[in-house]
Amino acid sequence: PVDRSPEIQEARLKLPILAEEQVIMEAINENPIVIICGETGSGKTTQVPQFLYEAGYASSSGTIGITEPRRVAAVSMSQRVAKEMNLSHRVVSYQIRYEGNVTDETQIKFMTDGVLLKEIQKDFLLSKYKVIIIDEAHERSMYTDILIGLLSRIVPLRQKKGLPLKLIIMSATLRVEDFTDNNRLFSVKPPVIQVDARQFPVTVHFNKKTPLDDYSGECFRKVCKIHRMLPSGGILVFLTGQAEVHSLCRRLRKAFPYQKNNTAGGEDDKEDSVEEMRKFKKSRKRRKVMTLPKIDLNNYSVVPVDEGDEDRDADTDDDAAGSDIDLDLGDGDSEEDEKSDSSLPLYVLPLYSLLAPEKQAKVFRAPPPGTRLCVVATNVAETSLTIPGIKYVVDCGKVKKRFYDKITGVSSFRVTWISQASANQRAGRAGRTEPGHCYRLYSSAVFMDFEKFSAPEITKRPVEDLILQMKALNIEKVVNFPFPTPPPTETLAAAEELLIALGALKEPPVTGRLKQQLAAKLSCPISPLGRIMATFPVAPRYAKMLALSRQHDCLPYTITIVSAMTVRELFEEFDRPAVSEEETAQLKGKRARFLQMQKIWAGQGPMQKLGDLMVMLGAVGACEFAGCTRKFCEENGLRYKAMLEIRRLRGQLTTAVNSVCTDAGLYVDPKMKPPTEAQATYLRQIVLAGLGDHVARRIQAEELLDEKWKNAYKTALLEDPVFIHPSSVLFKELPEFVVYQEIVETTKLYMKGVSAVEPE
Ligand code: ADP
Ligand code: MG
């Protein structure tokens, strides 16, 4: 029996999924695999684990496991469920790559999909679980797709053993044909339960014109209008990246300052606006309401152009109806909005995945009395988190995504249009608690040109890490794997080739025709080295470095370098746009200090040749020496959250290495000394072994045929010149040969994470 507080009980009863508890549990009892579809906010993630728990699916011998594609969701959902059930986090726990609070008592375990994949490697049958829930399956993250493929085989195996495992796939959209109508995946079609969304209608307003580039400015103007003119209710803005989010937050805070002690109006305000809205609704003609473009969130039917189109915008009719609230607002172009207005406090909060968890948690709490909540978010708010009280959504229609070249693996971040499905998800965030409005900052014609759905991640990125994991599971013929959507053959081939080059797979016998060779390559078995590499929770290139580091006591250094290379954004961004002169000066000072420190961290002699990797090693070493405090990080241009992640990953990798070489006796030393000259030289060889195909040679003066090759490097794979990134310590050095961690395309092709190598 679960002992829930009265407030939680009340909130739960409002969730549509509660009415379906019996239907869901019957389906689960009678079928090994069940798919549950329901709009974001309907209660899938928080309630289904509780249904299972109350039905006795969790016990001391069996856990309920839930996977999430995003770390944010794994952590915050475990906390929410623990709270709802009034249980400690010793029982309702989470595990993400860097950390967790799982105990012997854990009965409900939230984890990222990558964590479960690792567990399958240790125990293919997942014997400690009674149920696996794959959440957010619509996101089609690479690991989620693979897990579904693997579980489609594990479930029947467990059945045969007489220890049945239940698989539940949960999705925010109804588009689950890739799972249901794929008989290689599931020979018996699993039942699909649709949870009534009880979604309030969301009125969609398209812009007449689509802004060419300044969608941030357009967002600003739209939020100002909503805040000035429309009744109370939270605003959720979708932008593409952290920098944009911050700059919009600053602009909005300046325009509508909120002081902590400002309680003007208080609760009365709310009453007024409810009254206002009621009057407004009454005044509105029914006929007009019916013709407003609506999206049906249950089947994603596309709004016909003429319905959502500018010609039939509500504004003219609204005026005729005598209403003083123009819900359509029109395209933003007014200038007066920049004026600061403290009589209308707006409580502005940012939300993105790199934000510190305690700051992320703020969006779930009620805004201070007398203020309106405005959350400025990246894509994380699209489906994984439900923010309470949102009535207005402002959607810029864009998303920032990493794109990879299929052959070279060169990646670039690009801002592109979202899919229609994403746009509808975003709009749906507005209708959770009452009818809402979604302002799309693009025209309906542009919307019609969006792709219907975004492509599954597995078809879009290199898959060497995935293939190594699969080979470690003895899946040799990867092409025969029941992928929900298979990756392109050339991506598979590139991955196998790299793994062979790293020595992780056994070389195929060289035989006749190219086609046969390719087929042979796609079914190479794993090598003993590959098995060791697969136990490390990092990409194959980095795993190879670890596997080579036994000699000369290099392991602690390699572990640190690899941890630093796999954690995103170690250093603070100094190039970000500043809002005030004060901030500009502050950033300038910070940058100067950072550049000084960078030189110190880069060391001397052979260490210096390790370039950016030495800077990472030096920075982590210095930070740990200082106790890894927030203060030290802020003073020296390091990102505190990244440093904490590195610390945890170092711990984890140290444990992983110790379990492979039982005599290594490694521990994480907070007072790690810099490497000796011999070690630094050896580290460069280790790095070269892992990044062997990432070598670049500087173009010599006599080879300079074209100005565009000035200071450029030539790589084996690319025709075009590549350059050392300006943030690199080797930017001015220009060594003859370098290895790089990755090439990123912005205005040019830039190498990041650069070390110098010497020709043999
Ligand atoms: P789904 O998985 O179907 O998207 P959830 O189970 O995540 O739905 O959310 C159900 C409801 O629980 C949401 O409407 C939200 O208001 C509430 N909720 C979820 N997390 C929190 C939280 N951390 N604090 C307060 N309410 C929350
Ligand atoms: Mg959910």
Q: Is the CB of 364 under 6 A from ligand 1?
A: yes
Quote the CA–CA distance of 638 and 615 in Å, as a whole number.
12
pLDDT for 407 equals: 63
Give the number of the atom of ligand 1 that is nearest the alpha carbon of residue 364. 24
Nearest listed ligand to the Cα of residue 82: 1
Long-range contacts of 516-521 (CB under 8 A, 24+ apart): 518/493, 521/493, 521/496, 521/497
pLDDT for 49 equals: 98
Instruction: Among 108, 134, 375, 386, say which to mutate for ligand 1: greatest number of ligand atoms within 8 Å of CB.
Output: 386
User: Quick check: 26 pLDDT over 50?
Assistant: yes
How many angstroms separate the alpha carbon of residue 385 from the centre of ligand 1? 7
- Taking Cα atoms as reference points, which of 313, 308, 314 lies closest to residue 283? 314
Contact of 398 with 216, CB cutoff 8 Å = no
The residue among 279 and 730 whose pLDDT is bigger is 730
Instruction: Among 12, 45, 46, say which to mutate for ligand 1: greatest number of ligand atoms within 8 Å of CB.
Output: 46
Is the torsion defined by CA of 646, 652, 656, 659 positive or negative? positive
Model confidence at 274, pLDDT cuts 50, 70, 90, reads: very low
Which uninterrupted H or E stretch holds 318?
Answer: helix 315-320
Burial of 455 (0-12, 13-18, 19+ CB in 10 A): exposed
ipTM of this model? 0.98
Give the number of the atom of ligand 1 that is nearest the alpha carbon of residue 383. 4
pLDDT for 312 equals: 25
Instruction: Among 44, 78, 80, say which to mutate for ligand 1: greatest number of ligand atoms within 8 Å of CB.
Output: 80
Model confidence at 300, pLDDT cuts 50, 70, 90, reads: very low
Return the amino acid letter for 326: D
Q: Is the CB of 50 under 6 A from ligand 1?
A: no
Q: Is the CB of 234 under 6 A from ligand 1?
A: no
Give the number of the atom of ligand 1 that is nearest the alpha carbon of residue 135. 2
pLDDT for 339 equals: 67
Cα–Cα distances (Å) from 231 to 119, 137, 271, 748, in that order, read 50, 36, 10, 47
Q: Is the CB of 42 under 6 A from ligand 1?
A: yes
Q: What single string gives the DSSP state of each residue in 591-647?
A: HHHHHHHHHHHT-STHHHHTHHHHHHHHHHHHHHHTTS-HHHHHHHTB-HHHHHHHH
Nearest listed ligand to the Cα of residue 425: 1
The protein residue with its alpha carbon nearest to ligand 1, atom 7, reads: 45
Mean pLDDT score, 48-61: 92
Q: Is the CB of 45 under 6 A from ligand 1?
A: yes
How many angstroms separate the alpha carbon of residue 200 from the centre of ligand 1? 16
Q: Is the CB of 300 under 6 A from ligand 1?
A: no
Quote the CA–CA distance of 435 and 432 in Å, as a whole number.
8
User: Quick check: 573 pLDDT over 60?
Assistant: yes
Nearest listed ligand to the Cα of residue 195: 1
Range in 132-136, 198-202, 616-620 with the lowest mean pLDDT: 198-202
> C-alpha 388: how far from its chain's center?
21
What count of other Cβ atoms lies within 10 Å of the Cβ of residue 165? 23
Q: Is the CB of 44 under 6 A from ligand 1?
A: yes
Helix, strand and coil in the chain, % to nearest 5:
45, 15, 40
Contact of 756 with 609, CB cutoff 8 Å = yes
Contact of 110 with 94, CB cutoff 8 Å = yes
Q: Is the CB of 388 under 6 A from ligand 1?
A: yes
The protein residue with its alpha carbon nearest to ligand 1, atom 25, reads: 364
Segment 475-529, tens digit of pLDDT: 888 888 999 999 998 888 889 989 999 999 988 766 666 655 665 667 889 999 9
How many angstroms separate the alpha carbon of residue 539 from the centre of ligand 2? 28
Segment 59-83, tens digit of pLDDT: 878 999 999 998 888 998 999 999 9
